[in-house]
Amino acid sequence: MKKIYLVLLIFVISISNAQVGINTSTPAKSLDVNGTLNVRREIRTGGTTATVGAAGSAGQLFGVVNATSDTWKTVQIANGTGSLSLFYLNTVKDNVGVQFTQTGNTGIYNIDAPYNATNWAYIPNATDSFVVTKTDNLSKAILSFQTTVQLTRGAGTNWASGFASYSCGIFVEKDGAAGQLKAVRNDIIRGAPGAYRAYNLNVVLDGLSAGSYVVKAACTNRNLGTGTTLTHIGIGRPVDTTTLNTDMSQSTLTTSLLQTY
């Protein structure tokens, strides 16, 4: 009987000070089960001799990263079939911008109209690309274009307060086709020479079919005045460096692609 107790004591000591493997000769943890484990109640982590470990909450997953970081984690996933998940997120920036020195086309703009370099000018680096892989025509892209617009006097003018109108829009190229206007917004700027303001354009492109897409931000001049009222404007570019520089005037374009889960 003493021998049995001695064997049991040695077994208990070995368990408390060594790794135990079930169906494995090289256990990676204090207890390593190579097979199916059935737990009827709780698995608790992070406990000590004085405190009870955490059992996690409903919906959490047990994550193992390294020897000291086993823990319960909350993972955000879409709520079932048909929900949208984020597949792509990116921001590009441009500090070149464009400048306009005369009045342009003040007419209306039509969605899906092709890009026309006579009327529009691309912001050089405010462009991004992504690929839609889902074929259910439920994918959408959310675009946010931000820039700075500044005005100054035209050549030979001496006005104290100027005015200019302009527009910016988003052109989309699909599978290598020519760009088409998908969103546009007019705005105005007024003030003393060197005055500037922020411009924002938020766009949602719905019902995207599968394919490769390129999105580009472009701007155009509308009414910049004439003669003694002529105004020059810079979009994403300073035209009066006494009040604005390239870091302050830069443009950004953020693209988020959502597809069904």
135-155 pLDDT per residue, tens: 999 999 999 999 999 999 998
- Asked if the model's pLDDT at residue 10 lies above 50, the reply is no
**What's the CA gap between 71 and 63, in Å, rounded?**
6
- d(Cα 182, Cα 141) in Å, to the nearest integer? 12
pLDDT class for 6, splitting at 50, 70, 90? Answer: very low
State the burial class of residue 56 (Cβ atoms within 10 Å of its Cβ: 0-12, 13-18, 19+).
Answer: middle
What is the total count of domains within the chain? Answer: 2
What are the pLDDT digits (tens) for 187-242?
A: 999 999 999 999 999 999 999 999 999 999 999 999 999 999 999 999 999 999 99
DSSP string over 186-228: EEEEEESTT-EEEEEEEEEEEEEPSEEEEEEEEEEE-----GG
Tens digit of each residue's pLDDT (9 = 90 or more) over 16-30: 556 666 777 777 776
Based on the domain organization, do 119 and 248 belong to the same domain?
yes
In-domain check, residue 79: no
Q: Which residues pair with 178 in a beta bridge?
A: none
Q: Judge if 23 and 111 occupy the same domain.
A: no
Above pLDDT 90, what percent of the chain?
A: 66
d(CA 59, CA 232): 58
Stated pTM of the model: 0.71
Bigger pLDDT: 166 vs 25: 166
Same domain, residue pair 22 and 124: no
Q: Which domain holds residue 12?
A: 2-73
Residues 240 and 139 in one domain: yes
Which pLDDT band holds residue 36 (cuts at 50, 70, 90)?
Answer: confident
51 band by pLDDT with thresholds 50, 70 and 90: confident
